[in-house]
Amino acid sequence: MCMAEALPADGELVSLEICEHLKTLAAELISESQHAGKIHIILEPAIKFINRIAETKEKFDMIFVDGEKADYVPLFKMIFDNDLLSTGGTLLIDNAYNRGGAYNPSLNDRVPQELLDTVKAWQGLHTILLPLSDGLWMIRRMKDVERDAL
C-alpha cells in the first residue's frame, strides 16, 4: 500500500496473485485504504500476465518482481524483450540474494547465478544490488540513467 500512497491520484498499481485466498485477503485489506481505487489485483501467474500484456504494448513505470524464483530469468527477458518499461522505468527484483545462493556457490543454487549471468550479459543496463533484507536488485536502461543525469 505504500507504493499506492506514493502514486499520483490517477496512478495505478497492478498486483498479481496466484492464490485465490491471498487475492481475497489482499483485497479486504486494501479496501480499507484511501488508495484502494489505485490498486488492481489480478489472479494470474506473472509469466501469463506478461505474455498477455506484451501484446497490448502497455508500458509500466516500475515493475516489481517477487514470486517464483525459477520464473525470474524468463520474466526478466520478457520484460526487456517486449520493452515493457516506460522511458525512465525501473525493474525491481526482490530476493536477489536468494538466501545466499547468489554469492555462496556451495549452496549449489543455479537460479540466482543464472539470473546474475543473464542480467550481466544484457547490453545497455544500469544495475544496483541493494543489500536490503534478501537483496533488492534495481535495474534501469543505461540510456534512461544517462538522460536523467543531464
- Those residues with Cβ within 8 angstroms of residue 87's Cβ, 6 or more apart along the chain or in another chain: 144, 147
63 with 34, same domain: the answer is no
Which amino acid type is present at position 93? I
pLDDT of residue 54: 94
Residue 2, in any domain of the structure: no
61 with 40, same domain: the answer is no
54 with 77, same domain: the answer is yes
Query: Domain range spanning residue 115?
Result: 45-149
pLDDT digits (tens, 9 = 90+) for 18-36: 999 999 999 999 999 999 9
39 with 86, same domain: the answer is no
pLDDT of residue 136: 87
| pTM: predicted TM-score of the whole model, two decimal places | 0.85
Check whether 141 has a pLDDT greater than 70. yes
39 with 55, same domain: the answer is no
Percent of the chain whose pLDDT exceeds 70:
89
- Those residues with Cβ within 8 angstroms of residue 134's Cβ, 6 or more apart along the chain or in another chain: 94, 95, 96, 97, 98, 99
Cα–Cα distance, 137 to 28 (Å, whole number): 30
Contact assessment for residue 14 and residue 42, using Cβ atoms and an 8 Å cutoff: yes
76 with 88, same domain: the answer is yes
Check whether 104 has a pLDDT greater than 70. no
Check whether 107 has a pLDDT greater than 70. no
User: Torsion-angle region of residue 98: left (phi > 0), alpha (psi -120 to 50) or beta?
Assistant: left
Output the domain CATH number for residue 65.
3.40.50.150
